[in-house]
Structures are given as structure tokens and as C-alpha cells.
Structure 1
Amino acid sequence: MPLKGADCTTDETQAAPATRVRLAVFDFDGTSICGNSPVMLVWYLRRRHLLRKSVVLRILVWAAAYKLRLPQNESSVRSLVFTAFEGKPAAEVDRFLAGFYDECVAPRFRPQADAAMRAHTQAGEVVLVISATFEPIILQAMQHHPFKHQISTRMRIAPDGTYTREVEGLPVEGEQKLDAVKHFGDEHYGPGNWELAAAYGDHHSDRAVLAAARRAFAVNPDRPLMRTARKRNWDVVAW
């Protein structure tokens, strides 16, 4: 940040770079992987008796309403899942979630997604994975796949280093994904210095991000997204 009173009005500092940073954004669940990691996590926790039956029932009710496209509180369902981890040391929970990724999610990572990420990286683009799933899961995926940036749902850590049931900020879901991408681009590269070159998504809730991209890829799209993709001439790919 320039010192107060410094002259920052030269043409050189005001001009945008000749070439803007190009972002290639990938959704995670249903796009980069086959399946839904939060759903897998619920059953993983239930099998280990870490989630009460009453909590699982409430999650299932939420999921049914979500499928019917009824308005839902995105933070509330994540809070329910994290009843399994409330009050536990964050480092311990992060290791547990990393192990869950390795055991259950890693085998579902699509080789086509991996190849597409590598191709965008080789083309000089910045690969960004954006997801509503929990951050430790995405961070573990980052160790094995060609992306160095991610935006995902972060749960709040208490001053004593244990997890709470509160989402830090907003879950990265629906139109919040596009807001998060814009914030990432502006924060890392500066307003006007980047562009959304490509976006990949599978669900109708990804439409905002896909619509903002120069090139949109609907990956194994659900019916509403397929209709939008056909209407807007987006690429439809089967992975």
C-alpha cells in the first residue's frame, strides 16, 4: 500500500496491464468429482456414530427441500453437520477430514477434470476451485491435483482453537460463488486486471458463475442447467 501523500497518479500506475490474468474456475462436487462430498461426509459420520439420528433426519429434510428448490438456509445445514466436530481441536478435525477425503473422495476425482485443470495451467491461466464443501476437504484435494487456489466453506474456530458450528462468513453456494470469485480476483490482481476466462459447473446453482465466463462448460448438467446451456450455446461435456 502506498504511503499517505505519495504520488500515485502517473499514467503507468493507472493503466491496466496489457494482458489480464485469466481465471479458470471449477466447481468441485458433481463437476471435479463424481458425487457430493458433504452428502458422503454425513453418511461417513453416521457410520462412525458421530452424528445423532435426529441430526441426520434434519439434514435429510433440508436436502429434500433443496431438491424441490425451496428457499433454504445454507449455513444451517453446515452447522448441523459440524455438530460432530463442535468443541474439538481444529487441527484434529482437519486431519479427520483429510483422511475422509483420501478414503472416500479421492477415488471419485474425475480424470477429465484433472486433465482440464492441467491444460488451463499450461495455457497460463490460474485454476481456482470453488465449492460449498468444507475447506479442509478442498485443501487435501489441492495436495494431489493441479490447482493452487480455492474458495470453500470455512467454519469458525473459537479462541481456544476448537471448532464451533458457525460458518465464517457465508457458505460458498449459488450466486455467492460469483461474488467470491470477484472478491478473489480483485484482492489478488486488482479490479480490472483479471477476467473469468472459463468456468465449469454441473448444477443449476452454478449458472451465475458460468454466465460470467467467456467460455462456459456444463459438466454432466442437471436438467435446469442443460436447458440454460442449450439456450446460451454453452459447451456441454460428459465426464
Structure 2
Amino acid sequence: MDGAVMGVKGEASTRVAVFDLDGTISHRDLFLVFLRQAMRRLGPARKLRTALLPLHTLRFGLRAITNAELKAAFLDAILGGRQRSTLVALATDFAARSLEREMKPAALQAMQRHRQAGDALVLASASLDLYVEPIASQLGFDAVVSTRVAWTTDDRLAGSLDGSNLRGAPKLAAVRAMLAERFPLAKSFVAYSDHESDIPLLAAASSAFAVDPTAALARAARERGWPIVDWRGAGSLPAAAIQSGLVVPG
């Protein structure tokens, strides 16, 4: 199966809630936030390739390269060749900081409502397993699917992806495979996302919610009758409250 799949509880459930990460439960896309933190702490690994990143971004804007190719270019330029142990430590720290600074309180409250209803929680993200998995673990998700990074035989980041970039149809395929494996009794799922790339996932859900949607997703939501919800409210919750399950439902 393409993409990383992590399980926590390993139990079947008849009800599952699937949450996107970037822009849905977090205030912003965490990929560049993570890379900026890595550069501040480690410095760019390959300066020439880092200098070429604006060109890659322009080519992506012109549709000359794919999102997966752009993601791999940033990954290779900034983290390529780094030791796994160094990056795991960095990602673990980033996940803890993200809980305090990046999560939307309304999203955490929605997650808690699903927990209280007995639903299993799944985090489905096109972001990197390197930091998505510790975020999912610290937030108490039951399972997660995310884009895998590739490693060399000597445990260094290869600067490429291992399998599909879980964006669009590949994310839906990864979610379906994970549900069949981990939650075989689940007949349907609820899905939350902010981005039009998740229209396949939302369309496959029994109930779909457009969360603080992009303009394209907002149009699709109105056409398909999906509720549009606002989770953008300012404010924060302490990590201790999140991890101990003391988030008060809204």
C-alpha cells in the first residue's frame, strides 16, 4: 500500500471519522513550517539545490512539474542526506510544538466529540510521515495514513518519496485500504477537509464537511450540498489539556 499507515489501538470500529491535517485541524500547511524549523536548526544540507527551489516553485506554478516532484525537491534540498535519528528527534519536537501553536481549538473539540461518541479517529494527510505520525500519536488518533519519505540503506534521508504522494485519489485509496485492514466493520466514514484535492475523499464519505475551505472546495461543497464549517477561531489550548482528553466539546 502506498503511503505510511500507522495504527494505535488496532481495534475494529463501525464508525470512523477521517480528518485532513494541513489547513483542516492545523491553522496552516505544516510542510514548509517543518522545513523552516529544520533549516534554522540544521542549516540547508545542499545549498545549490536550495538556491534552485524558487525555480522549482515557479515551474510548479506553470504546471511543468507535479506537486509530488515539488515536494521531493524541497525535501532533497533541505533534508537530503540527514541521519534518521537526527530527523526523528527534530520531528518529535516539531509535533509537540505544533500541538501548542498550530492546532485549531474547534478542530480538537470536533475530534473530542467523535471520541465521546465512540468513533475511531483517522488522520489522513499528504504531508510527510516523518512528523505526521508523531502528531497523530500525540493527538490520540487511532490510525494515520501519510506520504512516506524514502531512506537510504545507511539510514539517511534519500531526498525522495517512498510511494505515492497522498494527494487526491491516492489519499482515498490509502484510506480505503487502511479501513479494510484496521476497521473491517466500518461501513462508511465521515470526512473533514479544507482543500479541493480531497474532493475524492469527501465524495466517498457518508458525511463530508468542508472546513475553512479553499474557494474551489467551497464551490464544490455548495454544488454537492456538503456543510461548510468555520474552525478558524483564534485561541489556543495547552498541550496537556489536549493529551489528557480535557478538550471541552463546543
**TM-score in same-fold range (> 0.5):** yes
Cα displacement (A) at 1:61: 4.5
Corresponding residue of 1:50: 44
Q: Is the 8 A contact 2:92 2:131 kept in 1?
A: yes
Let me know the Cα RMSD of the aligned residues: 2.5
User: 1:156-167 residue pairs with structure 2 within 5 A?
Assistant: 156-167=150-161
| Alignment pair present for 1:201 and 2:200 | no
Corresponding residue of 1:153: 147
Cα displacement (A) at 1:212: 0.9
Q: 1:38 aligns with which of 14, 24, 31?
A: 31
Q: Which has the higher contact order (CA 8 A, sep 6+)?
A: 2
Q: Distance in 1 between matches of 2:154 and 2:102?
A: 35
Q: Is the 8 A contact 2:44 2:50 kept in 1?
A: no
Corresponding residue of 1:236: 228
Larger radius of gyration: 1
- Measured against aligned partners, the alpha-carbon deviations of 1:50-108 in whole angstroms (never above 9, x if no partner) come to 2556544544444456567x374333223223323333321221111222333356411
2:21 maps to a residue whose letter is: F
Corresponding residue of 2:84: 90
SS of 2:187 mapped into structure 1 = strand
Corresponding residue of 1:178: 172
Corresponding residue of 2:239: none
Q: Distance in 2 between matches of 1:194 and 1:64?
A: 42
Q: Distance in 2 between matches of 1:56 and 1:107?
A: 27
Aligned residues: 218
Q: Is the 8 A contact 1:114 1:146 kept in 2?
A: no
2:189 maps to a residue whose letter is: A
Q: 2:70 aligns with which of 44, 66, 77?
A: 77
Q: Any stretches of 5+ residues in structure 2 without a counterpart? A: 1-11, 232-250
Q: Is the 8 A contact 2:148 2:161 kept in 1?
A: yes
SS of 1:144 mapped into structure 2 = helix
Summarize the Cα distance change of 1:224–1:100 in structure 2 as closer, same or farther, 3 Å threshold: same
Cα displacement (A) at 1:47: 4.0
| Alignment pair present for 1:26 and 2:4 | no
